[in-house]
Structure 1
Amino acid sequence: MIAGILGALGIGAANTASVTTPTATATSTATPSSTPTPTATVPINIEGEELGGVAEGTLVEGIDGEAPRKAPDADVKSIDALEALEVKGRAPKTGYDREKFGAAWADVDGNGCDTRNDILYRDLTGSVTSDGCTVTSGTLDPDPYTDTVIDFVRGPATSADVQIDHVVALSDAWQKGAQQLDAETRALFANDPLNLLAVDGPTNQAKGDKDAASWLPPNKGFRCEYVSIQIAVKAKYELWITQPGCADVEGRRG
């Protein structure tokens, strides 16, 4: 399986030691084996559009942390993490709902800014904010999925040009172990900077909830990192991969 995945990504056996998996820098993000200590917080709202019926800036009570204003570091070997993943069948999608992962783009780190704006601020260059949180403009240079430059301008007709992608889609996670996590950990998963990227909107829509066996970014130069993120996220939250998924990835040749 390892050789097949490396071959699909164009990585020779001699280079396996250099393949790394990013890990989150936010020290307060909980893993499935530890539940964060609830803290008394007051829900706040920051000016912004409605997303999933929840205003940007909504603070989830009982979850705190640091601002994910820095891209994750790469310091865990993908091969080691991949070998640790359990291989099981895909669970039914029965019971899945976006609300099972908490309010959309909630301020889980308690920095006063919702997750969507945190990631826009992190991934865009020249980010401009209207209130210290709401990103009104910036440049995605380059978009990791298409290797193109996208100018972001907040507005009803333009905000969707740059979207925040869950690299491991929420419904995919639900079918591979997340339904066994408690609600608080699922909220952390949905807002974990490790699993989030600002990307080209139409490409994100085309991806949908597919896993790495079914979809890889059009930008071949980013595919290795993309799969590394998938592995890191599933290892962090003790999710599993499927045997058909392994076979599909093995069969890929870039």
Structure 2
Amino acid sequence: MHPTTPPGSSGSPPRAPPLAVLVTTGCGPDSAPSTQPAPQTVTVTATPSESTSTTPSPSATEAPANGAVPDDSDTQTAVAVLADLPIKGRAPKTGYDRDLFGQPWTDVDRNGCDTRNDILNRDLNVETHKPGTDNCVVLTGTLEDPYTATTIDFQRGQDTSDDVQIDHVVALSDAWQKGAQQITAADRVAFANDPLNLLAVDGPTNAQKGDADAASWLPRTGPTAVTTSPGRSP
């Protein structure tokens, strides 16, 4: 026996029954019963929503269509880049003057302390300061000298301040011969007071270094000591 389809049915799933919603108006604590309108009944027929198709998003691990994978052979080290730099002799020292780099130890960062004392405060240990200078002017301190690997007791004074000097690692005269003559006066002042190019060091050793570059002078002791290799003299 075949099942009988009820009259008026096409074999599709039965629809959801109508949803009756009661809508009332005029509700409120101050509404008078005599003026409140009668409730109205609104019939809303809920119909099943149509299914929507979604397009799957590309996989997060999918490689870009035109993306190029970096090749290690394309990466150059700093040494390889240095090898491409042209090697030239020094320019003449003609025209060099210390004043072209501004007043010595200018307070370029405007922190209220000159550059020399900024470096002493950075490089010395157990320092004491001149009263009234907001911990700027160093009176005493201890330096672990990077050029001689010795400990120097610093004391500010007419005959003792030079025991610790501030070295321009790249000397100003050397910089002048290697391009500083072509930069602006403001850039030369900034270079002369750049803390990355300054070290508190043993005074006599700094005087021995003078304006020599690393090809002409390197310290023989200490953390930055010269390591002599065959075929190369320090």
TM-score by length of 2: 0.61
**AA matched with 1:155:** G
For residues 90 and 250 of structure 1, do their structure 2 counterparts lie closer, same or farther at Cα, with a shift above 3 Å needed?
Answer: farther
Report matched runs for 1:159-174 at 5 Å. 159-174=161-176
Q: What is residue 99 of structure 1 aligned with on the other side?
A: 99
Q: What is residue 136 of structure 1 aligned with on the other side?
A: 139
**AA matched with 1:135:** V
Q: 1:196 is matched with which residue: 182, 198, 212?
A: 198
Unaligned runs of 5+ in 1: 1-76, 225-248
Unaligned runs of 5+ in 2: 1-76
Aligned length in residues:
154
**Structure 1 residue 218 displacement after superposition:** 2.1
Q: What is residue 217 of structure 1 aligned with on the other side?
A: 219
Q: Compute the RMSD of aligned alpha carbons.
A: 2.4
Paired with 1:175 and 1:217, the residues of 2 have a C-alpha distance of 22
Q: What is residue 108 of structure 1 aligned with on the other side?
A: 108
Q: What is residue 154 of structure 1 aligned with on the other side?
A: 156
Q: What is residue 118 of structure 1 aligned with on the other side?
A: 118
Q: More displaced, 212-221 or 171-180?
A: 212-221
Deviations 1:57-114 (A, max 9, x none): xxxxxxxxxxxxxxxxxxxx87477447542221110100000101100001110100
**AA matched with 1:114:** D
**AA matched with 1:181:** I
- Would the aligned equivalents of 2:147 and 2:223 in 1 still touch at CA under 8 Å? no
Determine which structure has the larger helix proportion and give its number: 1
Deviations 1:145-198 (A, max 9, x none): 000000000001110000000000000000001100100000000000010000
3-state SS, counterpart of residue 223 of structure 2: helix
Pick 1 or 2: higher relative contact order, CA cutoff 8 A, min separation 6: 1
TM-score by length of 1: 0.56
Paired with 2:230 and 2:195, the residues of 1 have a C-alpha distance of 28
**Structure 1 residue 127 displacement after superposition:** 1.6
Paired with 1:214 and 1:172, the residues of 2 have a C-alpha distance of 11
Report matched runs for 1:238-249 at 5 Å. none
For residues 106 and 91 of structure 1, do their structure 2 counterparts lie closer, same or farther at Cα, with a shift above 3 Å needed?
Answer: same
